[in-house]
């Protein structure tokens, strides 16, 4: 099966550069609505058996046009929500954003037990996302999953057999960017990684896609000799 992981459309918090990860979270900006509306046409005649979205409002609003065009329900799952900002929730200052990106960067570097202050460990994030993807696979057929920038990059990188960890840490996914994967037995292979808006450059605004669209700094927790 093929799996399309699609980041949600632009939100007001993205524009302000805020770490806005709580449920239900904000809706979409006017540009975000346009980005969401472009998804059905961009996917063309790709077959879909299911459309899933996170429990956050922006993901469900982004999924709605695609689900309506394919006459499918939007199946909402909490496990697809964004990596929690914990103690940095709703902050946009440089130190908070750097702390969030650095904590996730430690997960990319292999320290999955590191706990983001007031939030989750990398292992906990992978496990909750895994549980939903298992359910998606059980449906049978190709599926679209509308989720969030940081968690898409983290999960896709860690679960793809053909991606080095540094790839997902460095390569961003803008609003409505898409990562296409294909199942290979019990694992996954990444086929394409389109970091810009799926509707094309006219709908892409990388300066206003929030901290989830920034690169992660891979930092090892091991002492340096």
Residues annotated catalytic, as ranges: 8, 82
How far is 180 from 191, CA to CA, in rounded Å?
A: 6
Cis-peptide, bond into residue 57, ω within 30° of zero: no
Tokens standing for residue 223: 């002492």
How far is 93 from 184, CA to CA, in rounded Å?
A: 41
Quick check: 129 and 71 in contact, CB under 8 A? no
How far is 34 from 128, CA to CA, in rounded Å?
A: 30
Strand partners, 193: 179
Structure letter (DSSP) for residue 118? T
How far is 6 from 176, CA to CA, in rounded Å?
A: 6
The DSSP string of 130-179 is HHHHHHHHHH-S-EEEEE-HHHHHHHHHHHBTT--HHHHHHS---TT-EE
| Residue appearing with tokens 């982004």 | 62
Quick check: 58 and 85 in contact, CB under 8 A? no
């Amino acid at each position: 099966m093929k799996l399309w992981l699609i980041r949600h459309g632009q939100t007001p918090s993205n524009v302000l550069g805020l770490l806005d990860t709580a449920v239900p979270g904000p809706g979409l900006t006017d540009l975000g609505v346009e980005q969401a509306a472009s998804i059905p046409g961009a996917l063309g005649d790709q077959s879909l058996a299911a459309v899933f979205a996170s429990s956050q409002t922006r993901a469900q609003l982004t999924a709605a046009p695609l689900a309506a065009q394919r006459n499918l329900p939007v199946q909402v799952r909490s496990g697809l929500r964004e990596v929690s900002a914990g103690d940095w929730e709703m902050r946009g200052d440089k130190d908070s954003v750097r702390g969030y990106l650095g904590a996730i960067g430690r997960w990319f570097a292999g320290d999955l037990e590191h706990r983001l202050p007031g939030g989750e460990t990398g292992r906990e994030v992978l496990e909750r996302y895994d549980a939903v993807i298992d359910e998606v696979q059980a449906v049978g057929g190709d599926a679209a999953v509308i989720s969030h920038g940081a968690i898409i990059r983290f999960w896709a990188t860690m679960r793809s057999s053909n991606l080095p960890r540094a790839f997902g840490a460095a390569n961003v996914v803008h609003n409505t960017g898409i990562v296409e994967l294909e199942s290979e037995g019990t694992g996954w292979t990444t086929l394409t990684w389109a970091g810009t808006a799926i509707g094309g450059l006219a709908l892409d605004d990388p300066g206003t896609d929030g901290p989830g669209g920034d690169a992660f700094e891979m930092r090892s927790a091991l002492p340096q000799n």
